[in-house]
Structure 1
Amino acid sequence: MLSALAGISAHAADIAAGKAKAELCAGCHGENGISQIENIPSLAAQPDMFIQWQLVFYRAGARKNEQMQPIVEQLDNEDIRNLGAYFAQLAPPKAPPDANPDLSKKGAQAAAGRRCASCHLDDYAGTKAVARVAGQRQDYLLKALHDYKSGVRSGGGMAAMASVAYSLSEEEIEALAHYLAHL
């Protein structure tokens, strides 16, 4: 039994090692995983498996980004596990005050009509390999929805997002991004 436990702990994530490795990430994704840079997502409170899968997609070339590629090429599987655990345990970003509640209402209707909560959960905090979208940067949500709609972003379970985003109008994309950013 002890040998079985030793095997499990050998694969357990090391949050302290993840924090140390995340120092590289802070330049773009912000201190404590909260981005201050346009079109760069906040990573704080993203589900562990979501972070891990995105890093694997970047490392494998299924997702492409000039800034991310040289970084992820240096990550081994243990680094990826540690980064996932580290970002998952951080406090989520605080949503800014909603200056346009009418737009949020339209976004809520678009989310309900597309059954966004069926994957992202009722509070949009995400789960397992599904992203937390509540409180994410509005500019990044717009970018991500446009990338899914155009087919620029794909890989893994992203087919559902591409299908949902493809049918969104520009007005719905704007409203949905606004709504989610202000949750």
Structure 2
Amino acid sequence: MQSRSILTSLCLFALGSLQASAADIAAGKEKAELCTGCHGENGISQMENTPSLAAQPDQFIQWQLIFFRAGTRKNEQMQPIVEQLDNNDIRNLGAYYASLQPPEKKADDDSDLSAKGKQAAAGRRCASCHLDSYAGTKAVSRIAGQREDYLLKALRDYKSGARAGGGMAAMAEVAYSLSEEEIEALAHYLAHL
């Protein structure tokens, strides 16, 4: 427990120092070339189970990169990349992805499922963290317009406890009580916002 507290303190210190100087969006765009293969051109993923990063809040991107780099969030594809990133890279990547336009809204092919998802989102008070627009803020992710398959994966990972990182406690609590039908409805609804 003490090592977790120390790690959290180090992460908070690292994030604080990241925000101490101005980010360089152009440098972030250059560094993002490493990310394009999975997260797509202009941060819009075309790869299954891989999130779009376009228009994610700056602090959210920074936190996730810090969690990956510290090993508190694990992903085989991300680990070798984040090991190469210094604090300036993380700050610049956060600013770059936050500056991009979000993915275009997709036509909703199942309005009944979206209605169930909207009801589940209201019942779980998703907007209290992700905002009414689900665009996220500060260290809270943008979930509006995110890939549906990725939202399904993320919700299932939170429910099972497989995912850790920012918001873990809140998301685990919310996701734990979701039925599979609610997970599918939420993912569909949010992906089509």
Measured against the shorter chain, the TM-score band is over 0.9
- TM-score norm. by structure 2 comes to 0.89
1:156 corresponds in structure 2 to 166
State the alpha-carbon separation in 2 of the partners of residues 32 and 158 from structure 1. Answer: 27
Aligned residue identity for 2:76: E
What CA distance in whole angstroms lies between the structure 1 residues aligned with 2:86 and 2:22?
14
Q: Is the 8 A contact 2:113 2:189 kept in 1?
A: yes
- Asked if 1:67 is matched to 2:77, the reply is yes
Preserved contact between residue 64 and residue 165 of structure 2 (Cα < 8 Å) = no
Residue 170 of structure 1: aligned partner: 180
1:56 aligns with 2:62: no
Residue from 102, 121, 129 that aligns with 1:119: 129
Match of 1:100 in 2: 110
2:47 paired with 1:37: yes
The offset of 1:95, in angstroms, is 2.2
Structure 1 unaligned spans of 5+: 1-8
Look up the match of 2:9: none
The Cα RMSD (Å) is 1.1
Cα deviation, residue 157, structure 1:
2.6
Displaced runs of 4 or more, over 6 A: none
> CA offset at residue 10 of structure 1?
7.4
Is 1:180 the counterpart of 2:179 in the alignment?
Answer: no
Report the CA distance between 1:11 and its aligned residue: 1.1
* 1:77 and 2:92 aligned: no
Identical-pair percentage: 82
Deviation at 1:154, TM superposition (A): 1.3
Q: Using a 3 Å threshold, how does the CA distance of structure 1 residues 10 and 124 change in structure 2: closer, same or farther?
A: closer
The alpha carbon displacement at 1:155 in A equals 2.5
Residue by residue, what CA displacement relative to the aligned partner does 1:16-64 show, whole Å, maximum 9, x if unpaired? 0000000110000000000001000000000000000000000000010
- What is the total number of aligned residue pairs between the two structures? 175
Q: Which runs of 5+ in 2 are unaligned?
A: 1-18
Cα deviation digits, residues 146-175 of structure 1 (max 9, x gap): 000000001233210010000000000000
TM-aligned CA deviation for residue 96 of structure 1:
1.3
**2:36 aligned with 1:26:** yes
Distance, in Å, in 1 between the alignment partners of 2:107 and 2:150 is: 17
